[in-house]
């Protein structure tokens, strides 16, 4: 189906190749997972399959990439649309129409399909992806999970045999991610499609994969089974890390398989008291930095926050969780003064953020938005870091978060994870007493996430109040001292992270699911417990 023959690729101004001597076959009807470090070249590999590399990106491609015998060098993406469907990291940015049904039909209209064929394929796709009740809905009103399914459907209607997806679950809450993954496995198992997807959230997807392709930072691509890949991988999802720690054989890839092997470990851990908290000082909190009372925020007639009461103290790390559209980003935007309350009180350091000038608010609140590039305005990373007078400090922070990043690079040419590292360095360099992060692990691999966690812990220990809106339950389990769950603009749970996430099947981390009902959340906790010698 897909053939890479000694493929090398180098971007136009790059000194080294992003892909180096890639030689492999991807057969028909498999779900293939592409993994690797942030910036290693996963997206480049995916774009080579449908011809975006090199037709759109430029650069030098040697060797041959073919799909169903078509050489991508001689067939640009439009001419491969009936063979390969490609869905990028941000579905909304790729939509070109207004409603679900129009978006599903658009690709076929562009390719000149007959009206009767278009009608039939739209109906089939609506049923296949569970979108029939949404056919007339505006795309901007859909949840992220629904948008992702529409994006998949919009390329499926052209009838491709290969579906390529870049980080399809990175911005989704756990239930929405399960919806998308269920749709993808249905395409593979029921229709025999080939699905190739890159994903950093391995805990969500590795159990569904038939094969794993690991892209190294040197540009090589190693092919293997999921178990073999996870056995040799330096970084792995919590279920695999726990299996390694406990010595389980064969190595489990799913929570179900791990639970079957976990009985002896649970017996040992049950003899301990409360789990240790390595790296977390859960009692070191100070004065209230941000306070909301009966906070109501509206978008025209839509109530986004409905009477929120919340205090955030110095030294706290608060995880904001909930479904897509629950109000998490709205709360962050209100705290940084981008939105004005329709009712209620909101204060940061005793001041109303929406009434402050931008020069004042940046000294009180730092926000890293979902799209970090929204903060960028310079032509190079170095110029970006030096723009606000905290250049030396920002460079030191960036060296920790992304040590190999070239400061001469244009910020918008960076990978998702690298853009986040630059934005975080910019915001943290100003040392605001309140730090807000909106989906900060989107596009981050496990080592990059670990670096982020260490930095956040240091700032929290230094008295910074941190609020993280996230769908990453593993991040919340690892760093958050407190978790707040929003639903339809209201707070439905607020308490210590171990109590809140273990009470929720949707937002429980993998270790909690495996060791339930014991209150252990992370592999680090289990390792620390086993190392106490008390067992």
CATH number at residue 155: 3.40.50.300
Same domain? 219 vs 340: no
Cα separation, 40 vs 462, in Å, equals 33
- Give the count of beta carbons closer than 10 Å to the beta carbon of residue 138: 12
User: Which pLDDT belongs to residue 442?
Assistant: 82
The 3-class SS string of 236-250 reads CCHHHHHHHHHCCCC
Is 511 inside any structural domain?
no
Distance CA 213, CA 221 (A): 6
- DSSP letter at 59? S
pLDDT of residue 527: 93
Closest CA to 2 of 56, 46, 55: 46
- Indicate whether 230 and 308 sit together in one domain: no
Domain that holds residue 138: 2-234
Residue 127, exposed/middle/buried by CB under 10 A (0-12, 13-18, 19+)? Answer: exposed
Q: Do 196 and 29 meet the contact criterion of CB atoms below 8 Å apart?
A: no
Count of alpha carbons within 13 angstroms of residue 491, beta-carbon side: 19
Residue 513 lies in a domain: no
Q: Residue with structure tokens 């000294």? A: 363
Domain count of the chain?
Answer: 2
Q: What angle do CA 154, 158, 161 make, to 5 degrees?
A: 105
Evaluate whether residue 29 is within a structural domain.
yes
* Distance of alpha carbon 234 from alpha carbon 285, whole angstroms: 35
Which of 234, 249, 269 lies at the terminal end of a domain, its last residue?
Answer: 234
**Do 463 and 363 lie in a common domain?**
yes
Tell me the C-alpha distance between 178 and 175, whole Å. 5
Q: What is the DSSP string of 480-535?
A: -SEEEEEETTEEEEEEEHHHHHHT-TTT--HHHHHHTTS----HHHHHHHHHTS--
Find where tokens 């204060």 sit: 347
Whether residue 78 is found in the same domain as residue 197? yes
Task: Enumerate the β-bridge partners of residue 468.
Answer: 319, 437
**Which of 166, 200, 234 delimits the end of a domain?**
234
Q: How far apart are CA 359 and CA 361, in angstroms?
A: 6
Q: What are phi and psi of 335, to 5 degrees?
A: -65, -25
What pLDDT does 282 receive?
A: 54
Note whether 477 and 522 are within 8 A (CB). Answer: yes
226 & 301 share domain: no
Residue 86 and residue 52 in contact, taking contact as beta carbons nearer than 8 Å = yes
Q: Are 320 and 386 contained in the same domain?
A: yes
- With respect to residue 299, please indicate whether it lies within any of the assigned structural domains: yes
CA gap 346, 338 in Å, rounded: 12
pLDDT of amino acid 534: 46
- Residue 214 belongs to a domain: yes
Task: State residue 267 phi and psi, 5-degree precision.
Answer: -65, -40
**In 84-167, where do the E strands start and end?**
84-87, 162-166
Same domain assignment for residues 304 and 183 = no
Residue after which a domain boundary falls, among 194, 211, 234:
234
Contacts for 339 with CB less than 8 Å, ≥ 6 apart = 297, 330, 333, 354
In this structure, is residue 263 part of a structural domain?
A: no
Specify whether 321 is located in the same domain as 212.
Answer: no
Query: Within this chain, do residues 138 and 34 fall inside the same structural domain, yes or no?
Result: yes
Q: Are 470 and 440 in contact (CB under 8 A)?
A: yes
Name the nearest CA neighbour of 317 among 457, 413, 516: 457
In eight-state DSSP terms, residue 206 is: G
Contacts of 484 (CB under 8 A, 6+ apart): 310, 318, 319, 320, 321, 491, 493, 494, 500
What's the rounded Cα separation, in Å, for the pair 282 and 222? 41
In a shared domain, residues 322 and 222: no
| Contact in structure between 443 and 415 (CB atoms under 8 Å) | yes
pTM of the predicted model over 0.75: yes
Query: Strand 288-299 relative to strand 343-348: parallel, antiparallel, unpaired?
Result: antiparallel
Q: Within this chain, do residues 208 and 352 fall inside the same structural domain, yes or no?
A: no
Specify the pLDDT at position 284: 65
In a domain, 275, yes or no: no
Beta-carbon neighbour count of residue 419 at 10 Å?
A: 23
The answer to whether position 116 is within a domain reads: yes
Do residue 79 and residue 203 come from a single domain?
Answer: yes
Residue listed under structure tokens 């493929």:
7
Whole-angstrom distance, CA of residue 338 vs CA of residue 468: 17
Residues of the chain with pLDDT under 70: 278-284, 533-535
């Amino acid at each position: 189906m897909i053939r890479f023959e000694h493929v090398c690729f180098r971007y136009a101004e790059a000194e080294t190749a992003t892909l180096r001597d890639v030689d492999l076959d991807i057969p028909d009807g498999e779900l293939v997972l592409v993994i690797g470090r942030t910036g290693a070249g996963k997206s480049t590999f995916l774009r080579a399959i449908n011809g975006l590399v090199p037709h759109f990106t430029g650069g030098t491609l040697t060797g041959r990439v073919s799909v169903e015998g078509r050489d991508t060098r001689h067939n640009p993406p439009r001419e491969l649309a009936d063979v390969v469907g490609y869905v990028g990291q941000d579905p909304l940015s790729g939509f070109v129409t207004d409603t679900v049904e129009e978006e599903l039909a658009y690709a076929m209209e562009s390719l000149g399909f007959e009206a009767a064929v278009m009608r039939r394929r739209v109906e089939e796709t609506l049923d296949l992806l569970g979108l029939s009740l949404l056919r007339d809905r505006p795309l901007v009103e859909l949840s992220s999970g629904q948008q992702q399914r529409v994006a998949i459907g919009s390329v499926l209607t052209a009838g491709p045999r290969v579906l390529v997806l870049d980080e399809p679950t990175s911005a989704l809450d756990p239930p929405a991610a399960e919806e998308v993954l269920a749709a993808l496995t249905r395409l593979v198992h029921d229709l025999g499609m080939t699905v190739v997807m890159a994903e950093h959230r391995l805990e969500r997807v590795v159990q569904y994969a038939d094969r794993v392709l690991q892209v190294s930072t040197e540009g090589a691509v190693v092919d293997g089974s999921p178990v073999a890949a996870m056995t040799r991988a330096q970084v792995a999802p919590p279920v695999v890390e726990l299996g390694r720690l406990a010595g389980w054989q064969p190595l489990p890839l799913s929570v179900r398989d791990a639970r079957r092997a976990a009985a002896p470990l649970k017996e040992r851990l049950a003899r301990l008291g409360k789990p240790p908290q390595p790296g977390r000082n859960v009692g070191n909190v100070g004065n209230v930095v941000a306070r909301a009372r009966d906070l109501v925020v509206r978008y025209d007639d839509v109530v986004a926050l409905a009477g929120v009461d919340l205090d955030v103290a110095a030294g706290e790390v608060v995880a904001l969780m909930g479904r897509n559209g629950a109000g998490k980003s709205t709360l962050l935007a209100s705290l940084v003064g981008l939105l004005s309350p329709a009712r209620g009180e909101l204060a940061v350091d005793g001041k109303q953020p929406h009434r402050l000038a931008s020069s004042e608010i940046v000294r009180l609140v730092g926000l890293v938005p979902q799209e970090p590039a929204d903060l960028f305005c310079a032509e190079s990373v170095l110029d970006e870091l030096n723009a606000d007078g905290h250049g030396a400090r920002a460079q030191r922070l960036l060296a920790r978060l992304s040590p190999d990043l070239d400061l001469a690079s244009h910020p918008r040419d960076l990978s998702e994870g690298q853009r986040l590292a630059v934005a975080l360095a910019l915001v943290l360099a100003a040392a605001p007493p309140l730090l807000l992060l909106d989906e900060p692990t989107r596009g981050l691999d496990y080592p990059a996430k670990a670096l982020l966690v260490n930095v956040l812990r240091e700032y929290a220990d230094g008295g910074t109040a941190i609020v993280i809106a996230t769908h990453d339950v593993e991040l919340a389990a690892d760093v958050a001292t407190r978790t707040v769950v929003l639903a339809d603009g209201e707070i439905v749970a607020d308490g210590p992270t171990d109590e809140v996430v273990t009470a929720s099947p949707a937002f429980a981390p993998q270790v909690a699911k495996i060791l339930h009902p014991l209150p252990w959340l992370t592999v680090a906790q289990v390792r620390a417990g086993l190392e106490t010698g008390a067992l």
